[in-house]
A and B are shown apart, each in its own frame.
Chain A
Amino acid sequence: MDAEGLLLSLELASGSGQGLGPDRRASLLTSLMLVKRDYRYDRVLFWGRILGLVSDYYIAQGVSEDQLAPRKTLYSLNCMEWSLLPPATEEMVAQTAVVKGRFMGDPSHEYEHTELQKVNEGEKVFEEEVVIQIKEETRLVSVIDQIDKTVAIIPRGALFKTPFGPTHVNRTFEGLSLSEAKKLSSYFHFREPVDLKNKTLLEKADLDPSLDFMDSLEHDIPKGSWSIQMERGNALVVLRSLLWPGLTFYHAPRTKNYGYIYVGTGEKNIDLPFML
């Protein structure tokens, strides 16, 4: 959610039950402004909160002029001092895929993972148990990256692409209409499109290249991994992800308010196919 309208956004997203306490809100309002100034971001988004056992991580993201460019992620333990996280790489994601369980809340905590590795010694090949240390910071980075890639969404029309390439915030975005708001196809993943080129020509003919340049939620696997609800009697549409429980996207139809926040344990719900 945009740091500009933080308070209103938190109110709208409170239907999921998790939010921020007043002291955190006050700290965020101040610190995010400073972050924006110091790092010269175009927009600062408050991404959410990952609940750890000892303490929670508060995550913010900075967006540059090009809205689709990779976002910088910052974390804080007390909503005041923010530290930049390194960008996620494939190896990080692969490495941390073996770590299970909750986050500790201590960025320097190391998970130990024993692996059987084949070691060549001379002519013999035998397996040895190797203990790999994985830092919690790495895990944090990869979890945030995964969540961003899979479930960070924006409504259709909120961003538009210019012929020069950069993506801008659409200032004439007046919100989705009620009928559009209930459809999954009106929401896009907030990331570089992956599936777009796989569309048939017929589908592509109907797309508006300035607005439909990202993947929509329609073809997400597994089907039904999004729960769309209207709250407050159609005055607010809330999408909750079932794949990463804790991610809430809200949008007030016919207004410009929208945003998403993740408040959860940072664990993927792998049992989703059983649960639907």
Chain B
Amino acid sequence: MGDPPPYPEPPSQEPGTRRSSQVSEPSLDQIQYPAGVPEEEMPQIQASVPGWSQWGGLPQQESMPMFPPEAARVGDMEYPSMNLGFPPEFQTLPYLDESRIQGADQTNLILQQLQRDQGNLLQRLESVYQDPRSNLLDQFYQRDPQQLYEGSQPGPYIRDDPALQFTPSELGLPPYGAEVPEPEPRQLAVQNAKAYLLQTSAGCPLSLYEHLVNLLTKILNQRPEDPLSILESLNRTTQWEWFHPKLDTLRDDPEMQPTYEMAEKQKALFVRGGGGAEGEQEMEEEVADTAVPNVMEAAFYFQQAGVGLSSDESFRVFLALKQLVEQQPIHTCRFWGKVLGLSRNYLVAEVEFREGEEEGEEEEVEEMLEGGEAMEAHAEEEGEEDEEKVADVVPKPTWKPPPVIPKEESRSGTNKYLYFVCSEPGRPWTRLPHVTPAQIVQARKIRKFLTGHLDAPVISYPPFPGNEANYLRAQIARISAATQISPLGFYQFGEEEGDEEEEGGAGRDSYEENPDFEGIPVLELVDSMANWVHHTQHILPQGRCTWVNPLQKTEEEEELGEEEEKADEGLEEVEQEVGPPLLTPLSEDAEIMHMSAWTARVSCTLCPQYSVAIVRSNLWPGAYTYATGKKFENIYIGWGHKYSPENFNPALPAPIQQEYPSGPEIMEMSDPTVEEEQALKAAQEQALAAAEEEEEDEEEDEDEDQDD
């Protein structure tokens, strides 16, 4: 609001202009009493309207200033004094001016009338008024509220006026009533104005009057700082609140429905299983041996490094894992981490089933797949037979798909563990299928965000064989293989199991805990990467951990001698792929662009004696490991993608295949060009002409001979 113009000529000379847009001006400058207000008029009004009129002396920084615009907007006021008709509801402070000029005594009568009429509003405001809120106007609260309600005191907020600390009698002003105005037209005007304000339109049950009452009540309740600047938002909020009453004991808020559902589900997590009688027994059983990992402990240590979920989220994860352990026959369980997705996230649990508990689901799925494949092969064969019966033999395509590399058995290699996912603690856990080498190979070539829905298709080139569940599983396998590490010595190889040569140099694939492990000091762990080892097998380029010669099974293909996709494999010989053996120290890890693949830190430099060692993977951002003493744990929280300093280059489409091998019977020749055809034609004509000439010559010779 700009500077209000100086107080102009008395408003009585311009009654009509009151309703113009300049209404705010006089109202504002009326507040600036200290500036240049006709002092002599003030006492009269103060006398005439005790207490109420003394609003005129209100300093500028009061919260009152915001009211004038409200009151000004109240309507087209033909009678400025009409504004005085709302003393109990509005701080029609500025309109005191008019009252001052035009006979304040009239106003008093009007006020009294209206006050009697507006008993309820006054009550409402009374409650507001009694509210002992402290604010800038604390100094004005010294005055006992009750005093101001004597007699025909109209406005409850009189206490805010500094001049109100004194009663009119103290000021030595003549009592109100010296002037005797005409009440009738004034009264009528006030009532008219009020009736206008109270009207409601068909579309809106809320009248302006009510709205302004609400607004001002709200403001006076909350007493915000600088309310003028937030007036518009307050206005909007008040209106909104009228139409959206908060208290509705019968109906639930529709928006909060999913929240409540989620809360219900999570509440189920917190309920302990079993009845009360079995409570003690169960407690003992649970304490004795449980597969549920100590998620809280791991979360605590990770938190030292600033990694991981918040503690209540971790606790909920713990409860969810407990639920999983109860539902499935689980031998060991570990919280693997959280993979972020576009619309939902995945909480991943790494479990191992008990011995002998085979995954029935998995087998069923496999059977279905095999059945499907058999059907397809059968259909193809029939199709081919039909084709052979046709007279023209269509050349058979010589392309055969590359051999499918068999996936690894459960509990070995990449499928050593089973993974369960859920999107939020409280939701049911879903098992992820085992990963096949083909999926891992393709997953290395693509880079896609996970959406959060397991059955979403993965649209990419080269096409990923599977849906998001498979892609997620493949990424989990890759991350596990690359970032699951432990301090050197924690795991050791078991007793010698057979000859290394027999295993084809693939190395050992099992390890066991070292009971004699004594822990490595934190500082040493941080200093050298050689103190950490991988305890998951490296995945070969083939997509498996143990190498399998893909050509051994398919002898027919060897005879055909077709090419394979991998460059270093010859037609019939495939080189064995070798990877680093198990329990390789991290110092052997390849560097990324002159940068080591791991970053190790102490969690807190200020207290190294109690810190833990934190190792962060630079290759898979989001993979963390902590170790302290004899404890260690891995976790992954991230998007599930590898870090590459270079930009992602999508695979180029495959080269165009040869349609058929060129052979003598199928050989393309280009059509002769026009010139050649013409030349040929000319040559033929020449030959023909030459032949005719010869015939003619012969005939002539014969004729000549005959003649002779």
Is B638 located at the chain interface by the 8 A CB criterion? Answer: yes
Query: In the docked arrangement, what's the CA distance between A230 and B345, Å?
Result: 10
Is B331 located at the chain interface by the 8 A CB criterion? Answer: no
Is A37 located at the chain interface by the 8 A CB criterion? Answer: no
Chain A residues touching B, range: 35 or more
If A22-B304, A233-B258 touch, does A16 touch B449 (CB 8 Å cutoff)?
A: no
Number of interface residues of B (CB under 8 A): 61
Q: Residue B259 contacts which of A16, A174, A234 (CB distance < 8 angstroms)?
A: A234
The answer on a CB contact under 8 Å between B345 and A229 is yes
Q: Report A157 CB to chain B, min CB distance, Å.
A: 8
Of B228-236, B433-441, B479-487, B507-515, the one contacting chain A is B228-236
Of B308-316, B367-375, B544-552, the one contacting chain A is B308-316
Is A160 located at the chain interface by the 8 A CB criterion? Answer: yes
The answer on a CB contact under 8 Å between A160 and B233 is yes
The answer on a CB contact under 8 Å between A275 and B258 is no
Query: In the docked arrangement, what's the CA distance between A49 and B224, Å?
Result: 36
Is B645 located at the chain interface by the 8 A CB criterion? Answer: yes
The answer on a CB contact under 8 Å between B258 and A234 is yes
If A22-B303, A101-B645, A233-B263 touch, does A168 touch B593 (CB 8 Å cutoff)?
A: no
Is A40 located at the chain interface by the 8 A CB criterion? Answer: no
User: Could you tell me which residues of chain A, from 223 to 238, have a CB within 8 Å of some CB in chain B?
Assistant: 224, 227-235
Query: In the docked arrangement, what's the CA distance between A101 and B645, Å?
Result: 6
User: Could you tell me which residues of chain B, from 567 to 623, have a CB within 8 Å of some CB in chain A?
Assistant: 593, 595-596, 599, 603-607, 616, 618, 621-622
The answer on a CB contact under 8 Å between B255 and A177 is yes
The answer on a CB contact under 8 Å between A101 and B448 is no
Is A251 located at the chain interface by the 8 A CB criterion? Answer: no
The answer on a CB contact under 8 Å between A172 and B638 is no
If A102-B618, A233-B266, A234-B256 touch, does A210 touch B309 (CB 8 Å cutoff)?
A: no
Is B412 located at the chain interface by the 8 A CB criterion? Answer: no
The answer on a CB contact under 8 Å between A229 and B309 is no
Q: Residue A19 contacts which of B224, B307, B342, B595 (CB distance < 8 angstroms)?
A: B307
The answer on a CB contact under 8 Å between A17 and B448 is no
Is A83 located at the chain interface by the 8 A CB criterion? Answer: no
Query: In the docked arrangement, what's the CA distance between A228 and B595, Å?
Result: 34
Query: In the docked arrangement, what's the CA distance between A22 and B311, Å?
Result: 12
Chain B residues, Cβ within 8 Å of A24? 306
Chain B residues, Cβ within 8 Å of A19? 303, 306-308, 310
If A17-B308, A17-B638 touch, does A210 touch B232 (CB 8 Å cutoff)?
A: yes
The answer on a CB contact under 8 Å between A233 and B342 is no
Is A100 located at the chain interface by the 8 A CB criterion? Answer: yes
User: Could you tell me which residues of chain A, from 184 to 241, have a CB within 8 Å of some CB in chain B?
Assistant: 210, 224, 227-235, 240
Is B650 located at the chain interface by the 8 A CB criterion? Answer: yes
Dominant SS among interface residues on chain B: loop
Chain B residues, Cβ within 8 Å of A264? 621
The answer on a CB contact under 8 Å between A15 and B313 is yes
Is B648 located at the chain interface by the 8 A CB criterion? Answer: yes
Q: Report A19 CB to chain B, min CB distance, Å.
A: 5
Query: In the docked arrangement, what's the CA distance between A16 and B266, Å?
Result: 20
Question: Residue of B at shortest CB range from A240?
Answer: B340
The answer on a CB contact under 8 Å between B256 and A15 is no
CB within 8 Å: A-B pair count: 127
The answer on a CB contact under 8 Å between B262 and A232 is yes
Is A30 located at the chain interface by the 8 A CB criterion? Answer: no
Is B305 located at the chain interface by the 8 A CB criterion? Answer: yes
Chain B residues, Cβ within 8 Å of A170? 230, 233
Is A92 located at the chain interface by the 8 A CB criterion? Answer: no
The answer on a CB contact under 8 Å between A102 and B595 is yes
Is B416 located at the chain interface by the 8 A CB criterion? Answer: no
Is B632 located at the chain interface by the 8 A CB criterion? Answer: no
User: Could you tell me which residues of chain A, from 1 to 60, have a CB within 8 Å of some CB in chain B?
Assistant: 11, 14-24, 49, 51, 53
Question: Residue of A at shortest CB range from B648?
Answer: A271
The answer on a CB contact under 8 Å between B599 and A53 is yes
Q: Report B650 CB to chain A, min CB distance, Å.
A: 6
The answer on a CB contact under 8 Å between B447 and A271 is yes
Question: Residue of B at shortest CB range from A264?
Answer: B621
Question: Residue of B at shortest CB range from A246?
Answer: B621
Query: In the docked arrangement, what's the CA distance between A118 and B650, Å?
Result: 34
Is A124 located at the chain interface by the 8 A CB criterion? Answer: no
Is B637 located at the chain interface by the 8 A CB criterion? Answer: yes
Is A152 located at the chain interface by the 8 A CB criterion? Answer: no
Contact with A along B250-292 (1 / 0, CB 8 A): 0000011011111101100000000000000000000000000
The answer on a CB contact under 8 Å between B447 and A78 is no
Contact with B along A233-276 (1 / 0, CB 8 A): 11100001010010000000000000000001100001100111
Pairs A–B under 8 Å by Cβ, sample size 29: A11-B310, A14-B309, A16-B340, A16-B637, A17-B638, A18-B307, A21-B306, A21-B603, A51-B616, A53-B596, A53-B618, A101-B595, A102-B595, A160-B230, A162-B229, A170-B230, A171-B230, A174-B237, A178-B255, A179-B255, A210-B232, A227-B449, A232-B262, A233-B259, A240-B340, A245-B639, A271-B447, A271-B647, A276-B449
